[in-house]
Amino acid sequence: MTELGQIWRVACYEWFDALRSRRALVVLLLYMAAAVCNMHWSINLLHKLENELVTVLQLPPSEHAGVVSTTLWKSKPFQRMMKQMTQNDLVLQDITGKHPVELIYAWFAFFYTPLLVVLVAGSRIAEDLGSGAVRYMIFRISRSSWTLGKFIGQALMIGFALVLSSLGAYAVAKYRLAGSGTPDLFLNMVQWSVRAWIFSFPYLGLAMGLSLLTKSASKATVMGIIAITVCFVVSILLHHFTGDTGWRAYLPYLGLLVPDEHKMYMWRNSLAPLVTGTTYLIALGFCYLLTGYAFFRHRDT
Amino acid sequence: MNSEHAIVTTDLVKRYGARRALDGFTLAVPTYAVLGLVGPNGAGKTTWMMSVAGFLRATSGTINLLGNGPFDAAVHRGRISILPQDSELPLESRPLELLAHYGLLQGLTRREAERSAQAMLTEVHLGDRLNSPIRTLSHGMRKRVMIAQCFIGYPEVVLLDEPLSGLDPREVARMRDFLARRRGRQTIVISSHNLHDIELICDHVAFVETGRAVRVATLEEVVGTGSTLVYALTALPEDTAKVAEAAPDLSLSWTDDPCGLVCRYDPRQTTPAEVNALILPALLAQSGVVRVAQGSDLETEYLEGRVLKRDPRA
């Protein structure tokens, strides 16, 4: 078996084993439930807005919920509001053509994926280091193959969780919102889950890189949560302080290391920014992982 | 394996802060030997094994494993295995699938890996628990899975750290037989505090003290199988001098708890039958002889400190 074959074997076993792990399974189901609930509540909110609009404008009530929401979505005042929220004309252009359900799901997936990653994958390596299970592996394969295999296995697990959550969210939308049961919408939502999956790579690298530093599973999870919080805060600070002169002009370079700074690429429609974002995010994930591996490579197990 | 020694470590040092867990550990394990590592707690047995398997990075010194330098997964994959101490297997896994997975990683084909995994698990009497999650197995059963994983794919070198601890007496006896059958076929190093087990399984013994191997010898040399006769007596003779007179060329030493006589002879000059012909009549004239055994036992030799005294390096 080649080194690549070994990595793939470890990855498949890791995925399979993670699915059997009750903790990971519970987190995965919770995430799916959260996606479903988020969609359900968001549709409730849309309905409420719709009813208020109907009352204010003294229109005859629509028999199909969601019709007014779609009109609202395309209205100029609403788009102005969205422009202020995104602060990016290109992103705004791309997302205003989307179905609201897609965007509700995409917002959920992008916002909660880092947390899902830390809770599912953050402790997997530390658990093996703490229990000593790693010792049954690293005389059979190299430490690098083992680490990479675990990383890919967890990436598959996260991908699986995201696709499941998109299916759950689509099912809710289909039954609760008029005109939401189209195959196109279904495919678009799966596509958003794939984009969120790519966005999860740097967080996965960060969580697993940190996990290589400790033998305590709970410590690894806490370190992961702190790390994603720091990333989030740094991203906000970068937006606040970035300027054109002096040290402020250099802040965007720091932004290259923060996953959130590459998120907007994943909201775009055209291929070029998507490829750029994907490359950045995956490279960043491997950079974080390699930093942890550099320590693990020489550590006593 | 062509070289004379499967594992050679020279002046191996492993430091944890100021403490030296290994302090110039020099040991050559002969190819196809079953070598027992004997020594007190904290002597460095586990540290040595973990260093050889590549789990620990030695501070200094050299390791030569199967003639290919220190452990390198690319070179030694499938050729070495270890039963590490205090290491859990993945709890959600099933023994058969886990061992087959290990076999595949070692380079076996799927068919070979599955066959080898099933054979090894049957050998350790877990044929009826092949697909039970490991978390549902008892401590002893888990230990047997751990032992079985060491022999997947028939590696050339097997390192076993306390392999028999936690097993019930029947399983201990079966495992001893299983390991003893490996003599002359695989190089096995066993660390154990149970000297009786070491004596029954191993053909070589290394004594480890304060981070060093202070003596390495064949078991025969240590317990004197070919040069010592031990007589268990009902009581010590009143006139021991008379017995000594009967065999003036032999070295005799008396023990009083239990009563006995240890008689050392030079196997190049005399045979056990000739020694018996001289000693037994003199003993029987004064006392009852319960049993005559060839050689002492490892535990007695070790506890009375004779194993170290006989080595000029000690």
The DSSP code sequence of A134-182 is GGGTTTTS-HHHHHHHHHHHHHHHHHHHHHHHHHHHHHHHHHHSTT---
Residue B81 to chain A, least CA–CA distance (Å): 7
Q: Is the minimum CB–CB distance between B106 and chain A shorter than 8 Å?
A: yes
- Range B185-198 average pLDDT: 92
Name the closest residue on chain B to residue A145, using Cα atoms.
Answer: B73
Check whether B22 has a pLDDT greater than 70: yes
Give the Cβ contact number of residue B242 at 10 Å. 13
Alpha carbon distance A148, A159 (integer Å)? 16
- Range B7-25 average pLDDT: 94
Helices (H), A58-132: 67-74, 76-86, 89-96, 100-121, 124-131
Please report which confidence band the pLDDT of residue A138 belongs to, taking 50, 70 and 90 as the band edges.
very high
Mutate to test the interface with A, among B101, B114, B116 (most CBs of A within 10 A): B101
- Range A235-245 average pLDDT: 88
Contacts of B122 (CB under 8 A, 6+ apart): none
Alpha carbon distance A282, B13 (integer Å)? 41
Alpha carbon distance B232, B230 (integer Å)? 7
Half-sphere exposure of B16 (CA within 13 A, CB side): 9
Q: Is the minimum CB–CB distance between B154 and chain A shorter than 8 Å?
A: no
Alpha carbon distance B229, B270 (integer Å)? 12
Check whether B29 has a pLDDT greater than 80: yes
Residue of B266 and B191 predicted with greater confidence:
B191
In B, which residues are within 8 Å of A1 by CB distance?
Answer: 104-105, 107
Pick from A64-73, A102-111, A254-263, B254-263: least confident: A64-73
The reported pTM is 0.86
- Cβ of A132 within 8 Å of Cβ of B149? The answer is no
Give the tens place of pLDDT for each residue, A149-181.
Answer: 999 999 999 999 999 999 999 999 888 877 777
Check whether B2 has a pLDDT greater than 70: no
Torsion of CA B112, B116, B119, B124, to 10 degrees: -170
Using CB atoms, pick whichever of A9, A17, A137 lies closest to residue B104: A9
In B, which residues are within 8 Å of A13 by CB distance?
Answer: 101
In B, which residues are within 8 Å of A6 by CB distance?
Answer: 105
Give the Cβ contact number of residue B247 at 10 Å. 18
Give pLDDT, residue A47.
Answer: 80
Check whether B1 has a pLDDT greater than 70: no
Answer whether B57's CB lies under 8 Å from B20's CB.
Answer: no
DSSP letters, A226-240, are HHHHHHHHHHHHHHH
Closest to B26 (Cα-Cα) out of B59, B62, B50: B62
Coil/strand/helix, residue A48: helix
- Tell me the pLDDT of chain A averaged across its residues: 87
Alpha carbon distance A27, A43 (integer Å)? 24
In A, which residues are within 8 Å of B81 by CB distance?
Answer: 139
Name the closest residue on chain B to residue A142, using Cα atoms.
Answer: B73
Is the bond preceding B272 in cis, omega lying within 30 degrees of 0?
no
Give pLDDT, residue A120.
Answer: 87
Using CB atoms, pick whichever of A131, A298, A301 lies closest to residue B88: A131
Give pLDDT, residue A66.
Answer: 62
Check whether A26 has a pLDDT greater than 90: no
Please report which confidence band the pLDDT of residue B313 belongs to, taking 50, 70 and 90 as the band edges.
very low
Residue of A139 and A264 predicted with greater confidence:
A139
With tokens 């906000």, the residue in question is A236
Give the tens place of pLDDT for each residue, B66-112.
Answer: 999 999 999 999 999 999 998 999 998 999 999 999 999 999 999 99
Name the closest residue on chain A to residue B110, using Cα atoms.
Answer: A1
Contacts of B270 (CB under 8 A, 6+ apart): B249
Check whether A147 has a pLDDT greater than 70: yes
In B, which residues are within 8 Å of A138 by CB distance?
Answer: 54-55, 73
Give the tens place of pLDDT for each residue, A190-201.
Answer: 999 999 999 999
Q: Is the minimum CB–CB distance between A139 and chain B shorter than 8 Å?
A: yes
Q: Number of Cβ pairs closer than 8 Å across A and B?
A: 71
Alpha carbon distance A224, B93 (integer Å)? 26
Alpha carbon distance B68, B59 (integer Å)? 19
Answer whether A301's CB lies under 8 Å from A134's CB.
Answer: yes
Cα A60 to the chain's mean position, in Å?
41
- Cβ of B73 within 8 Å of Cβ of A139? The answer is yes
- Percentage of residues in chain B with pLDDT exceeding 70? 97
- Cβ of A139 within 8 Å of Cβ of B54? The answer is yes
Q: What angle do CA A28, A34, A38 make, to 5 degrees?
A: 150
Give pLDDT, residue A178.
Answer: 74
- Cβ of A142 within 8 Å of Cβ of B73? The answer is yes
Alpha carbon distance A277, A267 (integer Å)? 10
With tokens 């708890």, the residue in question is B257
Coil/strand/helix, residue A281: helix
Give the tens place of pLDDT for each residue, B126-184.
Answer: 999 999 999 999 999 999 999 999 999 999 999 999 999 889 999 999 999 998 888 88
- The two structure tokens encoding residue A195: 């984009």
Cα–Cα separations (whole angstroms), residue B283 to B40, B204, B224, B264, B273: 37, 33, 21, 16, 15
With tokens 């550590």, the residue in question is A299
Cα–Cα separations (whole angstroms), residue A209 to A121, A203, B225: 11, 9, 56
Question: Burial, A25: exposed, middle or buried (Cβ in 10 Å; 0-12, 13-18, 19+)?
Answer: middle
Give pLDDT, residue A181.
Answer: 76
Answer whether B229's CB lies under 8 Å from B292's CB.
Answer: yes
Coil/strand/helix, residue A131: helix
In A, which residues are within 8 Å of B106 by CB distance?
Answer: 140
In A, which residues are within 8 Å of B74 by CB distance?
Answer: 142
Answer whether A145's CB lies under 8 Å from A233's CB.
Answer: no
Using CB atoms, pick whichever of A20, A135, A140 lies closest to residue B55: A135
Alpha carbon distance A263, A43 (integer Å)? 25
Give pLDDT, residue B312.
Answer: 42
Give the tens place of pLDDT for each residue, A39-98.
Answer: 899 888 878 877 887 788 776 666 555 666 666 666 777 777 777 766 677 777 777 777
Please report which confidence band the pLDDT of residue B51 belongs to, taking 50, 70 and 90 as the band edges.
very high
- The two structure tokens encoding residue A150: 């675990």
Alpha carbon distance A41, A45 (integer Å)? 6
Q: Is the minimum CB–CB distance between B78 and chain A shorter than 8 Å?
A: yes
Report the complex ipTM.
0.85
In B, which residues are within 8 Å of A129 by CB distance?
Answer: none
